Amino acid sequence: MSAAKLPVGTGLVHRYDKAANPLRGFRSRHPVWWRALTTAALVAIALFATYHLGPTTNYNLGIAASMSIVILGLSFLLGASGQASLGNGAFMGVGAFMFAIWANHHTSTPVVVNLAIATAAGAVVGLVIGLPATRLRGPYLAGMTLTFAFAFQSILSEFSSWTGAGSGLQLPNLVTAPGWLVGLFDSSTPPLTANDMWVADIAIVATGIAFFFMANLFASRTGRAMRLVRDNDVAAELMGVSLPSARALAFVVSAAYAGLGGALTTVVTASVSPSGYSLGLSITILSLLVIGGMGTLTGSLIGGVIFAYSTNWIAWLVAKTHLNPYGNLATNLEGIIFGVLLIVTMLAAPFGIAGTTKMGLTRSFEKRRAARLRSGGG
């Protein structure tokens, strides 16, 4: 019996498709296992790729993975709960400096434990900021987070003995590739190649875990409650959702992801500086979220890749246009390009690259499926 002979609109066609397609049936019956398997497969492919890539590409992959976690946290805050924040660059700095300070004073602590500490530090600061933010909405909330982002560098300077003041902190030999990984390379290969691969692998695995948990959070009851708060807070209260708790939780999750992303950036770069976590970084994160696609997992990855390679692209553009690399135009070119990309995206693809692409693919699939049903092709 073909799917074309089944009545459309009764759900029988979908049940028939699931029976004919075991993967679709498994995905609907065991969504968590499906997400775990697909995430593990993608992470395994990425880990395999790092072995065949050079140090520079692995470095960029590590930066892209780290930043995608930060963007994903903001995507949950803004895309799921509807709360605007301009402070995620500062939350990222909290995780980065917490990781660096702890690693400098506790050199024997494993990297995984350091990452957990940095994530917890970001979550705590997010809770401190999020509790009063539950009483604010719209531009007032954005203004509060903007104040925190603006004051973050001044806060760091007050603890210069810990943060290294303007010079920041250096973490040489922070992560060393294990012997079994070094043994996979030819003896003539520099040790730095294996270390760069190992650092990228750490960032990729952490990103896979972070994305897996966020995918489940989006699909959970908590995620649905967040979207209800975003769409209609009155209806959310009538459904029994605590608005202060939901908004505070969104801030905690977003700040925790920013802290983890900042810590991973420190692992990749082996250094941290207050100048790297200015207000401009928070605005850049927000721009990348809109460009990639708000409320989507793929959009966060797209934003992370754009951020990681933007420096190389801008340097290439400056060289091709013969601009003075130290002039005002060249030094501000990144902000100009991101601003133009943001405007173009909002006009041409208001749901971001990932959101607009997904909508286009879904519509194309539905049109083809409807055509097959009309033609009796099944």
Instruction: Establish if 292 belongs to a structural domain.
Output: no
253 pLDDT above the threshold of 90: yes
DSSP 118-136: HHHHHHHHHHHHHHHHTT-
On whether residue 344 sits in a domain, the answer given is: no
Q: Is 220 left (phi over 0), alpha (psi -120 to 50) or beta?
A: beta
370 is a domain residue: no
Overall average pLDDT of the 112-130 stretch: 93
Residues in the chain: 378
DSSP one-letter code for 276:
G
Comparing 36 with 364, the larger pLDDT belongs to 36
Q: Out of 11-20, 238-247, 339-348, pick the least confident.
A: 11-20
Query: Residue 23's pLDDT is what?
Result: 65
Query: pLDDT band at 8, cuts 50/70/90?
Result: very low
Here the tokens at position 200 are 């990228």
Q: What is the average per-residue pLDDT within 277-304?
A: 90
pLDDT of residue 65 exceeding 80, the answer is: yes
Type of residue found at 294: M
CA dist 72 and 260 (Å) reads 11
pLDDT at 280 over 70: yes
pLDDT band at 166 (very low <50, low <70, confident <90, very high): confident
Is 345 contained in some domain? Answer: no
Average pLDDT, the chain: 84
Task: Give the pLDDT confidence of 207-232 residue by residue, as tens digits.
Answer: 999 999 999 998 888 888 888 888 88
Residue 180 class from Cβ within 10 Å (0-12 exposed, 13-18 middle, 19+ buried)? exposed
Quick check: is 44 in a domain?
Answer: yes
Q: Identify whether 294 is part of a domain.
A: no
Please indicate whether residue 317 or residue 253 has the higher confidence score (pLDDT).
253
310 domain-assigned: no
Q: Quick one: pLDDT band at residue 13, thresholds 50, 70, 90?
A: very low
**Structural domain of residue 217, as residue ranges?**
10-277
Alpha-carbon distances of 216 from 130, 180, 211, 255, rounded to whole Å:
22, 34, 9, 18
Residues 108-128 have a mean pLDDT of: 93
Confirm whether 296 is domain-assigned: no
Count structural domains, the chain: 1
